[in-house]
Structure 1
Amino acid sequence: MDPRIREHAEIIVNHSVDVQRGDNVRISAPPLARDLVIALHELLGERGAHPSLSLRDSAATRAYRRAVDPEDLECPSHVLAAAEETDVFIAIRASENTYETSDVDPEVTAAFGQAYKPIQDEVMGKRWVGTQFPAPGNAQDAEMSTEAYEEFVWNAITKDWDAQREFQQQLVEILDPAETVRIKSGEETDLTMSIAGNPTVNDYGEKNLPGGEVFTAPIPDSVEGEVLFDKPLMAQGREITGVYLEFEDGEVVDHAAEKNEDVLSTVLETDDGARRIGELGIGMNRDITAFTYNMLFDEKMGDTVHLAIGRAYEETVGEDNEGNDSAVHMDMIVDMSEDSFIEVDGEVVQRDGTFRFEDGFEA
C-alpha cells in the first residue's frame, strides 16, 4: 500500500475526527477508495473503535433517483436511527464518472435533499469529515494523469495542519470582531453583508480534508449587491458556469447562468433558505495550486472567495443571531486573484489574492 494512504488515514483518525476508544464510526465510501477504507479499519481496530461501512455507488444512486416517484420520498427511519447511534462519520469521495447522475431530474434531487435533511442535521451535530481519495474520474476532471492527481491530492492533505491553523488564525482575528464585509471583483461583483456577532471558524483539516479556509455566516437579510461566480461548479452531476446572483434584503431577486441555468433555478426553489447565503468562506490553502472541478479543493484555493446558498453551519451563527436554514448548501467561487479586494469594516484586508499579513500586500 502507498505509504501516503496510511498517512491520509492517520490524519483522518487522529486529527480530523479524533476517534476515541469505543466510538461508533460510520465510513461511507465508493469501491474505488478501498485502500483508504482498509487503512482506516486497521487504525480503528488499533484504537478500539467500532466501524461500520456504507458502500456508496453513483450508478446505484442514479438508478434509484431515475426510478423513484418524488412523492414517495420521505426520511428513511432506519438510516436516521443508524445516524443517531453513530459518533463519527467519515465520508470519502472517489469517482469513475463525475457525470453519472447528470440525467437525473433536478427536481428529484431537490426532493431527495429535503427528505434526507433530518439525517443531514443529525450528521452535522456529530464529529464528521469529508475527504477525497484520488481516482481516475476526478483526475480527468482536473485534466491530470492519475499519478499527477495523486500527488496533487496528497500534497494538499498531508501537510502541517498546526502551521496552517496559525496562518489562518490571522484572518480569524480580523473577521471575528468585524461588522461588515465587502467583496469586490471586476465590474460584475460588488457584494456587502453583515457578519456582526457571528463566529469565524478556522478550518484546518477537521470537517474537510483538505482544509484551508476561514468561514463564517452572514446575517441572512443583510446581503446586498451582485456577484458573478467566475469559476464553474458541479451540481447534481452537471456543470454550471457563469452563475450570476443579485441580492436585495438578503434574498436572491435575480439569477442567471451561462450553462445549466435550469439546475440553478431548481436549487434556488428548494425552500425559502435556498435563496439566501449561508456561508462566506475565504480560501487559504496555498498547496492547492490548480482548479480541479472539485469543490472540496477548489474552495480552499488561495486567491478565492466562496459563498454558499442555503444552510448555515451552526458553529458560525452567534447565540443572539438567526441562522439560515435549508435542505441545500451549494458553494460557488469567485476568483480574487486580480482586480479584486476584500474589505472588512472599511479596511482592505486582501487585494488581488494577497492578505495584508503576507509579503507583497499593497494597501
Structure 2
Amino acid sequence: MDDRVRRHAEILVDYCTEIGPDDNILVRAPAPAEDLVVALYERIGKRGAHPTTQWVNPRAGRAYAREMDPADFRTKDHQLAAMTETDVVILVKATRNVAETGDVDPEKGQAASRAKQPIVEKRLDTRWVMTEHLTPATAQQAEMSTEAWTDYVYGAIDRDWEAQREFQQQLVDVLDEADTIRIVSGDTTDLRLSVAGMRAVNDAGETNLPGGEVFTAPIPDSVEGTVSFDMPVYRRGRPIHDVRLTFDAGEVVDYAASRNEEALASMLETDDGARRVGELGIGMNRGIDRFSDTILFDEKMGDTVHVALGNAIEECVPDDRLFNDSAIHADMLVDMSRNSFVEVDGEVVQRNGTFRFEDGFAAA
C-alpha cells in the first residue's frame, strides 16, 4: 500500500474527526476505495474506536433506481436509526465510472434525494468528513496520467492545515463584517447578494479533505443577477455543460445549459429551495492549481468561487436568519482567474484570482 494512503487515513482520523476510543464510526465507501478503508481501520484500531462500513455499489444503486417507481422511494428507517447511534461519519468518494447512474430518470433522482434528506440531516449532527480516493477513472476525467493525478491528489490533501487556516482567516474576517458581495467575471457573470448577519466559515480540511475554502450563506431572497459556470455540473452521473442562471429576488427565473439541460431543469424542480442559493464559497487552496473536473478539488482552487443551489449550511445561518432548506446541494464553479473580481461592500477583495492580502494583488 502506498504510504500516502496511510497518511490520508491518518489526517482523516487524527485531524478531521479526532476519533477517540468511545466513538462509533461509519465509513461509507465504494469498492475502489478499499485501500483507504483498510488504512482507516488500521488507524481507527490504534485509537480503540469502533468502525463499521457501508459499502456503496453504484451499479446496484442504478439497477434499483431504474426499477423503482418514484412514489415508492421513502426514508430508509434502519439507516436513520443507525445514524442516531453514530458519532463520526467518513464519506469516501471513488469511482470506476463517473457516468454509472447517468441513465437513471431524473425524477427518480429527485425522489431519492427527498427520501434521503432526514438521514443527511442526522449525519450533519455527527463529526463528519468527505474525501476522495483517487482512481484511474478520476485521473482520466482530469485528463492526467494516474501517476500525475496521484501526486496532485496527495499534494492537495497532505498540507499544513493550521497554516492554511491562518491564511483563510483573513477572508473570514472580511466576510463576517460584510453586507453585500458582488461577483463579476467577464461579460457573463454579475451576481449580487447580501450576507448581512450571516457567518463565514473557515474550511481548513475538517469536513472536506482536501479543504481550502471560506464559505457563507446569502440571505435567500437577496440574490440578483446572472452567473455563468465554467465547469460542468455533474448530477447523478450526467454532466451539465455551460450552465447559466438568472436570479430575481433570490430565485432562479431563467436558466440554460448547452448539454443535459433537462437534468438541470429536473434539479431545479426538486423542491422550493432548489431554485435558491444555499452557499457562496471562495476557494483558497493554492495546492490545487488546475481544473480536474472533480468538484471536491475544483471548488477549493484559489482562482474560483462556487455557488451552491439548495440547502444552506447550518454553521453559516444564525437562528434568527432565514435558512434555505432543500434536498439538494449542488455546487457550480466560476473561474475567477481572468477579467474577474470579488467586491465586498464596494471594495475589491480579490482580483483575477489574487486576494488583497496576497503578494501581487496590485498588479493582478
Q: Under a length normalisation based on structure 1, what TM-score does the superposition of the two structures give?
A: 0.99
Distance 2:290 2:134 in 1: 15
Q: Identify the residue that residue 159 of structure 2 maps to in structure 1.
A: 159
Q: Identify the residue that residue 185 of structure 2 maps to in structure 1.
A: 185
Answering whether residue 263 of structure 2 is matched by residue 271 of structure 1, we say no
Are the counterparts in 2 of residues 284 and 300 from structure 1 also a CA contact under 8 Å? yes
Structure 1 runs, 4 residues or longer, greater than 6 Å off: none
Answering whether residue 330 of structure 2 is matched by residue 300 of structure 1, we say no
Could you tell me how far 1:252 is from its partner in structure 2?
0.5
Are the counterparts in 2 of residues 234 and 294 from structure 1 also a CA contact under 8 Å? no
Q: Identify the residue that residue 200 of structure 1 maps to in structure 2.
A: 200
Please list the CA deviations of residues 308-340 of structure 1 after superposition, one character each: whole Å capped at 9, or x if unmatched.
000001001023211100000000000000111
Please list the CA deviations of residues 171-201 of structure 1 after superposition, one character each: whole Å capped at 9, or x if unmatched.
0011011111000111111111000111100
Distance 1:294 1:159 in 2: 19
Distance 2:65 2:165 in 1: 40
Q: Identify the residue that residue 349 of structure 2 maps to in structure 1.
A: 349
Answering whether residue 246 of structure 2 is matched by residue 249 of structure 1, we say no
Distance 1:201 1:185 in 2: 24
Are the counterparts in 2 of residues 234 and 293 from structure 1 also a CA contact under 8 Å? no
Q: Identify the residue that residue 229 of structure 1 maps to in structure 2.
A: 229
Distance 2:80 2:59 in 1: 23
Q: For structure 1, which segment, 248-257 or 227-236, has the greater mean C-alpha deviation from structure 2 after superposition?
A: 227-236
1:1-363 → structure 2 map (5 Å cutoff): 1-362=1-362
Structure 2: segments with no counterpart, 5+ residues: none
Distance 1:98 1:232 in 2: 13
Amino acid at match of 1:308: A
Could you tell me how far 1:46 is from its partner in structure 2?
1.1
Distance 2:338 2:17 in 1: 36
Aligned residues: 363
Could you tell me how far 1:232 is from its partner in structure 2?
1.6
Are the counterparts in 2 of residues 304 and 337 from structure 1 also a CA contact under 8 Å? yes
Distance 1:182 1:8 in 2: 36
Structure 1: segments with no counterpart, 5+ residues: none
Identity level (%): 58
Distance 1:143 1:62 in 2: 26
Question: Match of 1:322, SS?
Answer: coil
Please list the CA deviations of residues 70-99 of structure 1 after superposition, one character each: whole Å capped at 9, or x if unmatched.
111100110100111111000111111001
Amino acid at match of 2:33: A
Could you tell me how far 1:362 is from its partner in structure 2?
2.3
Question: Match of 2:262, SS?
Answer: helix
Question: Match of 1:282, SS?
Answer: strand
Amino acid at match of 1:266: S
Amino acid at match of 1:249: A
Please list the CA deviations of residues 250-304 of structure 1 after superposition, one character each: whole Å capped at 9, or x if unmatched.
0011111111100000000000000000000000011112211111001001110
Distance 2:294 2:134 in 1: 11
Amino acid at match of 1:31: A
Q: Under a length normalisation based on structure 2, what TM-score does the superposition of the two structures give?
A: 0.98
Distance 1:256 1:193 in 2: 21
Amino acid at match of 1:267: M
Distance 1:148 1:64 in 2: 36
Distance 2:110 2:140 in 1: 27
Distance 1:263 1:157 in 2: 31
Distance 2:143 2:246 in 1: 32
Question: Match of 1:116, SS?
Answer: helix
Please list the CA deviations of residues 192-228 of structure 1 after superposition, one character each: whole Å capped at 9, or x if unmatched.
1000111100001110000000000000000011111
Distance 2:257 2:323 in 1: 27
Please list the CA deviations of residues 104-131 of structure 1 after superposition, one character each: whole Å capped at 9, or x if unmatched.
1111011100011000100111110110
Distance 2:56 2:23 in 1: 22
Amino acid at match of 1:230: D
Distance 2:289 2:339 in 1: 20
Could you tell me how far 1:132 is from its partner in structure 2?
0.7
Amino acid at match of 1:75: T
Amino acid at match of 2:169: Q
Question: Match of 1:91, SS?
Answer: strand
